[in-house]
Chains A and B, each alone.
Chain A
Amino acid sequence: MTEVDTLPPNTADPGTTAALSVDGLWKVFGPRADKVIGTPDAELPRPELLKKTGCVAAVKEVSFDVAPGEVFVVMGLSGSGKSTLVRCLTRLIEPTAGTVTIDGHDITNASDAQLRDLRRHHVSMVFQHFGLLPHRQVIDNVAYGLEIRGVSKAERRKKAGEIVDLVGLTGNEQSYPDQLSGGMQQRVGLARALAGDPSLLLFDEPFSALDPLIRRDMQNEVIRLQEDLQKTMVFITHDLQEALKLGDRILIMRDGAIVQVGTPADVVANPADDYVRDFVSDVPRSHVLTLRYVMREPRPDDSSEGPIMSPDTIVRQAARAALASDHVVRVVDNGELVGIVDDDAILRIVVAEESVSP
Chain B
Amino acid sequence: MSSIATVRPKTHDTGALATLRARWRLVSLLAVVAMWVLVWAFTRGEQTLAIQASDRTDIHGWFLARTTAIENADNVVTSLLAALSSGMDATLLFLQHLFTVPEYPRPYPQIGWLGALAIASLAAYAVAGWRQVLVVAPSFLLFGLLGYYEDAMDLLIVTGVAVAVALLIGIPLGIWMGHSKIVAAVVTPVLDVMQTMPSFVYLLPFSILFGIGPAVAALVTLVYAMPPSVRVTAYAVRGVSTTTLEATDSLGQNRWQRLRHVELPMAKRTIIVGVNQTTMAALAMATIAAYVDGPGLGQPVLEGLRRGQLGKSFVAGLAIVIMAIMLDRTTTAASTRSDRVARGDRDTGRVRTVALVAGTVVTLAAVYLSNSYTWANQFPEGVNIGDPISTKVDDLADWLRSDLSAITTGVQETFTLYFLNPVQDLVANSPWFVAGLAILAIAWIVGGVRALGAAAVCLAGIYWLDLWNNAMITLTAVLVATVVVMILGLAVGVWMGRSQVVDRSVRPVLDAAQTMPPFVYLIPVLVLFDANRFTAMVAGIIYAAPVAIKLIADGVSGVSATTVEAAESAGSSRLQMITKVQLPMARGSILLAANQGLLYVLSMVVIGGMVGAGALGFDIVYGFRQANFAGKGLAAGITIVLIGIMLDRITTYGARRAQSPGRATVRRKRLSLSRAET
Contact = CB atoms under 8 A, between A and B. Distances in A.
B247 interface: yes
Contacts of B265: 133, 135
B251 A133 contact: no
B243 A148 contact: no
A133 to B, nearest CB: 6
B244 A133 contact: yes
B350 interface: no
A208 interface: no
Contacts of A159: none
Given A131-B244, A133-B244, A192 B344 contact: no
Given A119-B252, A120-B252, A134-B343, A189 B261 contact: no
Given A116-B254, A144-B261, A148-B253, A131 B248 contact: yes
B585 interface: no
B55 interface: no
Interface in B331-390: 342-344
A129 B243 contact: yes
A102 to B, nearest CB: 13
Nearest to B247: A131
A302 interface: no
A128 B241 CA distance: 13
Contact of A131 (B241, B252, B253, B342): B241
A116 B250 contact: no
Given A144-B251, A148-B252, A131 B261 contact: no
Interface string A243-263: 000000000000000000000
A124 interface: yes
Contacts of B266: 133-135
B343 A145 contact: no
Interface in A133-150: 133-135, 137, 144-145, 147-149
A132 B247 contact: yes
B345 to A, nearest CB: 10
Contacts of A121: 252
B133 to A, nearest CB: 26
A137 B345 CA distance: 12
A131 B243 CA distance: 5
A119 B343 contact: no
Given A135-B265, A144-B261, A176-B343, A189 B250 contact: no
B247 A148 contact: no
Interface residues of B, number: 21
Interface string B228-253: 00000000000001011111111111
Contacts of B257: 148
A130 interface: yes
Given A135-B343, A176-B343, A119 B243 contact: no
A225 to B, nearest CB: 18
Interface string A82-105: 000001001010000000000000
Interface centre among B241, B248, B251 (most CB of A within 10 A): B251
Contacts of B262: 133
Contact of B261 (A124, A130, A148, A178): A148
Nearest to A195: B251
B244 A196 contact: no
A20 to B, nearest CB: 15
Contacts of B252: 115-121, 145, 148-149
Contacts of A129: 241, 243
A145 B249 CA distance: 10
Contacts of A116: 252-254
Nearest to B342: A135
B343 A120 contact: no
Interface centre among B250, B266, B342, B344 (most CB of A within 10 A): B250
Nearest to A128: B243
A124 B248 contact: no
Contacts of A135: 265-266, 342-343
Contacts of A137: 344
Interface in B249-271: 249-254, 257, 261-262, 265-266
A129 B241 CA distance: 10
A120 to B, nearest CB: 4
A36 interface: no
Contact of B250 (A124, A133, A149): A124
Contact of B251 (A119, A130, A134, A178): A119
Contacts of B243: 127-131
A133 B261 contact: yes
A147 B254 CA distance: 12
A124 B251 CA distance: 6
A119 to B, nearest CB: 3
A145 B257 CA distance: 11
A308 to B, nearest CB: 48
Interface string A338-350: 0000000000000
A128 B242 CA distance: 12
B225 to A, nearest CB: 28
B251 A176 contact: no
Contact of A92 (B241, B246, B254, B343): B246
B268 to A, nearest CB: 8
B509 to A, nearest CB: 34
A125 interface: yes
Given A127-B243, A131-B243, A133-B244, A120 B261 contact: no
Contacts of B248: 131, 133, 144
B247 to A, nearest CB: 3
A61 B249 CA distance: 26
A119 B249 contact: yes
Nearest to A117: B252
A182 to B, nearest CB: 14
B259 to A, nearest CB: 12
Contacts of A124: 250-251
Nearest to A137: B344
A149 B248 CA distance: 12
A119 B250 contact: yes
A249 to B, nearest CB: 23
A82 to B, nearest CB: 15
A134 B246 contact: no
A118 B257 CA distance: 17
Nearest to B341: A135
A192 B251 contact: yes
Given A131-B248, A149-B252, A178 B343 contact: yes
Contacts of A176: 343-344
Contacts of A125: 247, 250
Nearest to A123: B250
Contacts of B249: 92, 119
Interface centre among B244, B247, B254, B265 (most CB of A within 10 A): B247
B335 to A, nearest CB: 14
Given A124-B250, A145-B251, A145-B252, 11 more contacts: A87-B246, A90-B250, A92-B246, A127-B250, A130-B247, A131-B245, A131-B248, A133-B262, A148-B252, A149-B252, A192-B247
Interface of A: 1, 87, 90, 92, 115-121, 123-125, 127-135, 137, 144-145, 147-149, 174, 176, 178, 189, 192, 196, 202
14 contacts: A87-B246, A92-B250, A127-B243, A128-B243, A129-B243, A130-B243, A130-B247, A131-B243, A133-B265, A148-B251, A176-B343, A178-B343, A192-B247, A196-B251
Interface of B: 241, 243-254, 257, 261-262, 265-266, 342-344
**Closest A-B pairs by Cβ, 9 of them:** A131-B247, A119-B252, A120-B252, A131-B243, A135-B342, A145-B251, A116-B252, A125-B250, A131-B244
